[in-house]
Amino acid sequence: MNGSGKLRRTKRTTIAFNDLEHQALEKYFKKYKIRNKTRFMREAIMRTVIAKFADDYPTLWDQPSGSV
């Protein structure tokens, strides 16, 4: 088994959009010539998740709740 086997995508998730959301996405894909929609959505979702984790990560100067 090579090293890339650890990052193989085997979990599937389905997303449902309403008509307006779907139209907006399709317009965006066409305007910006996005050919790989799955990659685009995966990267957008993971970018949001990683940014939130980074924002929530405690720093040396963070004070616990209720302290002075």
Task: Give the CA distances from residue 16 to residues 21, 37, 53, 68, in Å, rounded to whole numbers and listed in that order.
Answer: 9, 14, 25, 46
Task: Give the CA distances from residue 33 to residues 2, 17, 26, 49, in Å, rounded to whole numbers and listed in that order.
Answer: 34, 20, 10, 25
Looking at per-residue confidence, does 21 or 5 come out higher?
A: 21
* Per-residue model confidence (pLDDT) at position 41: 97
- Please say whether the dihedral angle defined by the alpha carbons of residues 21, 22, 28 and 31, taken in this order, is positive or negative: negative
25-49: pLDDT as tens digits: 999 999 999 999 999 999 999 999 9
Look up the pTM and report it: 0.70
